[in-house]
Structures are given as C-alpha cells and as structure tokens.
Amino acid sequence: MSEIKAIKLVTGEELVVEITSNEDELVTFKNPVATVMQRRQEGPVLGFMPWMQASNGPFTISKKLTIVICDVAEEVKNGYNQIFGAGIVVPPKDLILG
C-alpha cells in the first residue's frame, strides 16, 4: 500500500511523494513533486513543481540521502491528490456539521 509522505533530502530539496516501498536502506516512490513557497496577496502559500522531469519513475534512493521522511498536512495531501489521485479532497473536520 502506498502512502503520501514528505521527504527532506540532504541537498535541501523537500519533496511530496507516494512511497511504494520503505525498506532498511532504500525508499522507493513515484509521482514526486518539489515544494516551493509562493507569494500571494493573502500571504505565502505552499506550491508544487515537477521533480525529475526526464523520468516517470519509480525512483529508488538510499535513506542515507534523506534527512527525514514524515507525514504531510491534510491540506498538502489534498493538493497532491488533486494532481495525482482521484481528486478527492477531505474537508476540514470543523466544517462537518450535524
């Protein structure tokens, strides 16, 4: 089962990926996007840009090249799923009434 995670690489790049395998020394993922901060009138927002544009993956890297692998915030997962997933967006819990 694949999971959407954030990966911080030793190069400083921050990626959002769909991890397909997480073994002892290696992590394999697909659909990577790099995160970038974008300036908007309402303030800075997180955006995505393509990563490794010359390949469709899957990508396998040594865990020695990662600083951290962690869960992503729900709004980041929603944005990622709009691009690569079924387009399903989970509403914030405080908006569910009844």
> What CATH number does the domain containing 65 carry?
2.30.30.100
Q: Binning pLDDT at 50, 70 and 90, where does residue 96 land?
A: low
Helix, strand, coil % (nearest 5) of the chain?
Answer: 15, 45, 35
Asked whether residue 41 is assigned to any structural domain, the reply reads yes
Q: Binning pLDDT at 50, 70 and 90, where does residue 87 land?
A: low
In terms of pLDDT, which residue wins out, 8 or 42?
A: 8
Q: Are 85 and 30 in contact (CB under 8 A)?
A: no
Asked whether residue 98 is assigned to any structural domain, the reply reads no
**Domain extent at residue 35:** 3-84
Asked whether residue 45 is assigned to any structural domain, the reply reads yes
Asked whether residue 10 is assigned to any structural domain, the reply reads yes
Closest CA to 17 of 83, 80, 90: 80
Domains contained in the chain, number: 1
Alpha-carbon span 72 to 84, nearest angstrom: 15
Q: Has this prediction a pTM greater than 0.85?
A: no
Alpha-carbon span 60 to 89, nearest angstrom: 28
Asked whether residue 68 is assigned to any structural domain, the reply reads yes
Q: Binning pLDDT at 50, 70 and 90, where does residue 84 land?
A: confident
